[in-house]
Amino acid sequence: MVDLSDLLTDLADESDQVDALVAPLPAADWARPTPAPGWSIAHQVAHLAWTDHVALLAATDAAAFFATVSAAPDPARLVDHGAEQFLAPPAELLARWRAGRTALAAALAAVPAGEKLPWYGTRMSATSMATARIMETWAHGEDVADALGVVRPASDRLRHVAHLGVRTLGHGFAAHGRPAPTAPVRVELTGPGGDTWSWGPADAADRLTGPARDFCLLVTQRRHRADLALLATGPVADEWLDVAQAFAGPSGAGREPSATPGGEHGVRA
């Protein structure tokens, strides 16, 4: 089992990498559009600040967390509304995000072992929440990087994103209105250092192989399957490439196939 303190260290490192992308930008560049329709770089950072905030409430004040859900003017626009609510001038927004993610890390570290935190449609441990925050931070960092036309170096932190992607196989099918498969899938991914990360029975008939970064781009819906070097063997693995979704909530719009990184389509999650 992954240690919570190690996860929080990786979350801080992932956040710092995104921070390093946006902190030097002139104010005008914060308005650059990202692959998520209607969202600028500022919206991406505001979304991370907002989700850190509601995760902090989940870890410290469940009643206040549920109040934010019931008070949402339009549940279908909860994510958009949260980002809009946290938008601010770049310096203020960056300071808000930094303070919020620091407070969240401290709160998660203090959650008693075995306690489950409320979240959208589920409950999760502090370890799972930290893993989900790594996934979100990495995914929205990809949107920022796409907007800036840069490719970030992959790190072993992707293993957390990949793990969550494997764990949410059934959720992806359910979110798209399809029955969860009963057949297991063997997943073998090549990490940034060349080592193999694997999940599932070694003798499973359905298999999914390829680069870990590509799998992470798939399950966060940052790339279409056609633009990724993932090989699916068997009907379940093949269908999974169409519905994979590591984040909570209804199915995302995903991305259309594109010859260029990021393409013209995106997803907010």
DSSP labels for 203-259? T-SEEEEEEHHHHHHHHTTSS-GGGS--EEESHHHHHHHHH---SSSSPP------S
pLDDT at 253 over 90: no
Nearest CA to 139 out of 209, 56, 44, 263 is that of 44
Q: What is the residue-averaged pLDDT of the chain?
A: 93
For the chain, give every residue range classified as CATH 1.20.120.450.
4-153
Q: Name the pairing type of β-strands 185-190 and 122-124.
A: unpaired
- What distance in Å separates the CA atoms of residue 213 and residue 200, rounded to the nearest whole number? 19
Numbered ranges of CATH 3.30.1050 in the chain: 158-242
- Asked whether 65 and 59 are in contact (CB, 8 A), the reply is no
Sorting pLDDT into bands at 50, 70 and 90, what band is 67?
very high
Phi-psi region of 211 (alpha: psi -120 to 50; beta: other; left: phi over 0): beta
Using pLDDT thresholds of 50, 70 and 90, give the confidence band for residue 78. Answer: confident
Cα 188–chain centre separation: 20
The label of the residue with tokens 């980002």 reads 83
Percent of the chain with pLDDT over 90: 84
* Integer Cα distance of 255 and 4 in angstroms: 32
Number of residues in the chain: 269
Q: What is the mean pLDDT of residues 41-49?
A: 98
Distances (CA, A) of 184 to 135, 164, 212, 234, 235: 23, 16, 19, 11, 11
CATH class of the domain defined by 4-153 = mainly alpha
Q: What is the CATH number of domain 158-242?
A: 3.30.1050
Neighbours of 158 (CB within 10 A): 24
- Report d(CA 193, CA 170) in Å as an integer: 29
Q: What is the reported pLDDT for 254?
A: 77
* CA–CA distance, 73 with 77 (Å, rounded to integer): 8
Q: Is the dihedral of CA 262, 145, 42, 70 positive or negative?
A: positive
- Mean pLDDT confidence for 86-93: 97
- pLDDT at residue 261, rounded to an integer: 44
